[in-house]
Structure 1
Amino acid sequence: MKITKNNYLAIFFSIVILLALTRCIFPKIAADRDNNNDSKNDSTHVSEYDSLRRNASNVPLDKPSRFFDKNGKEIKNRIYSVPRFCDAFPDSNNVQLESAKLYGVKPVMNREDAEGRKKELVYVSASPYYTVDKLKSSIPYLVPRAAILLNDIGRSFFDSLQIKKIPLHKFIITSVLRTHEDVDKLRGTNRNATQNSCHLYGTTFDICYNRYTTVSDPEGPARRAVRNDTLKWVLSEVLRDMRENNRCYIKYEVKQGCFHITVR
């Protein structure tokens, strides 16, 4: 039998009216269905809550704080430095060179060549954690792996200063990526600037250990003066941890006044 449009609408409205009458005459049916859905939703929420609570219960709430002891008293974090700088940071140029060749770019010939290699390199001269010195024999670019290392060192240095109640200071980068032309010019005055320098590969940077930049509010009160040696001790702790975690190789340069660092 062919169903016309009018017949279809009549059947549809009849069913709707029948369901409405059923709900009015037997309200318990609808209530039971709603209750079942609510119970299901409640059980789901309870299950999720129990799961979160179980996960939270596995968190060691009694883990020691870096700032307060178990009685809520502020902890005084001491400065330990390292036993001897030359022993703590002994990695020679030959050791660092292997890592530089592994993770670095093809050696850069000159500044013009460097301009064409910026797709492989990261600009590192702008950071809230460190200052890049006025560079005469290098340019502020690193491979991404080394740029991340540098940023992590800067952030960890800030954290260490904070927990030791020392006013914030930025360390200073004195050398980054060098070209072959830069190295040739330096070899006459700096015997550490070897022909096959790690700086050629964009994996290496030098951090000065006897100069720092004070972080202060220009309109605020003067910051407490901090000796460079104190800042050097804190920085050495950070660098030792990075080296022991296999993040980098480090050479303590006595005459150049810097930590010579290559990513690994």
Structure 2
Amino acid sequence: MDFKGIKEKYIECFGIVVIVLALGRCAYDGFTPSGEQEAVVAQTEVVIKETTEVNAVKKGKHHPIRSVRSFKECFPDTNAVQLTAAQRWGVKPVKDREDAENRKAELVYIGASPYYHVDPLHQSIPYMVPRAAILLEDIGRAFFDSLAVKGVPLHKFIVTSVLRTQNDVVKLRRFNGNATENSCHLYGTTVDICYNRYKTVEDPEGPARRVVRNDTLKYVLSEVLRDMRENNRCYIKYEVKQGCFHMTVR
């Protein structure tokens, strides 16, 4: 007999009964529930929700993938908005690679994380201020968690640009019209996260993971980034031509 399953079912039924009795009591006595009664009802609802979600995952019923209503509307933060945050939280603009080597007391290396992948960088270097590095790590963890509860094989998102020196910006502007002279990337606060490529997490000697469409992974990533932005952790701009989320810590 599955006693664990019976216990979980009992908790769900008990919670529902408590809510029904509480609401019935309110209707019978003709008064509004007190703060204590409302708290009991609210806590019971949380227990029911959490138990239902756990049971759903155990039964193979994963959370739905919803994405966001509009990438442009949900991630509208312009360079001007992000630049203000970059100047507040970042380092002084780095002149060149030699100058960057002397700034490592202010910057942390972000090129080796279990939660995301950094592309080979030609116009930037993988260093950020600690505040931004923590944000990036938190996004990577949340992305893994979200993929797991949605039943999607684990993938790492890809970082394509990080800290740029002033010399990097000059070179980049020669062939990239969107690269600004006063770039947020100068301050170690900003990254570009690719939304149309991902790295599959799998055992190189084991069986291949099932293929997942990039659009599916983009939808999940956008949910995570939306939540981070709404929690005032960052500013984000959805870049169409560059195929990335341009993000600055705040």
Question: TM-score band (shorter)?
Answer: 0.7 to 0.9
Which secondary structure state, in structure 2, belongs to the residue aligned with residue 166 of structure 1? coil
Q: Partners in 1 of 2:248 and 2:110 — Cα distance?
A: 15
Q: What SS does structure 1 have at the residue aligned with 2:197?
A: strand
Shift of 1:68: 2.1
Distance 2:68 2:100 in 1: 37
Residue equivalent to 2:183: 197
Q: What is the rounded CA distance, in whole Å, between the counterparts of 1:76 and 1:167 in structure 2?
A: 12
Q: Is the CA contact (8 Å cut-off) linking 1:67 and 1:74 kept in structure 2?
A: no
| Structure 1 spans left out of the alignment, 5+ residues | 1-58
Q: What's the Cα RMSD here?
A: 1.9
- Larger radius of gyration, structure 1 or 2? 1
Aligned to 2:98: 112
Give the TM-score of the pair, scaled to structure 2: 0.79
CA distance in 1, matches of 2:221, 2:121: 22
Identify the match of residue 62 of structure 1 among 27, 41, 47.
47
Given candidates 226, 239, 247, the residue that maps to 1:253 is: 239
CA contact (8 A) 1:79 1:233 kept: yes
Aligned mates of 2:115, 2:141 — CA distance in 1: 6
Aligned twin of 2:130: 144
C-alpha deviation, 1:121, in angstroms: 0.1
Counterpart contact for 1:67–1:163, Cα < 8 Å:
no
SS of 1:86's partner is: helix
User: What are the residue-to-residue correspondences of 1:34-53 with 2, within 5 Å?
Assistant: none
Q: Taking structure 1 as the reference length, what is the TM-score of the superposition?
A: 0.75
State the Cα distance separating 1:189 from its structure 2 match: 1.3
| 2:153 corresponds to 1:167 | yes
Amino acid at match of 2:145: D
Q: Which residue of 2 aligns with 1:78?
A: 64
Identity %: 70
- Measured against aligned partners, the alpha-carbon deviations of 1:92-149 in whole angstroms (never above 9, x if no partner) come to 0000000000000000000000000000000000000000000000000000000000
2:102 matches 1:130: no
| Long gaps (5+) in structure 2 | 1-42
Correspondence 1:188 to 2:174: yes
Task: List aligned pairs for 1:166-245, cutoff 5 A.
Answer: 166-245=152-231
The alignment of Structure 1 onto Structure 2 pairs a total of residues equal to 207
Runs of 4+ residues over 6 Å off in structure 1: none
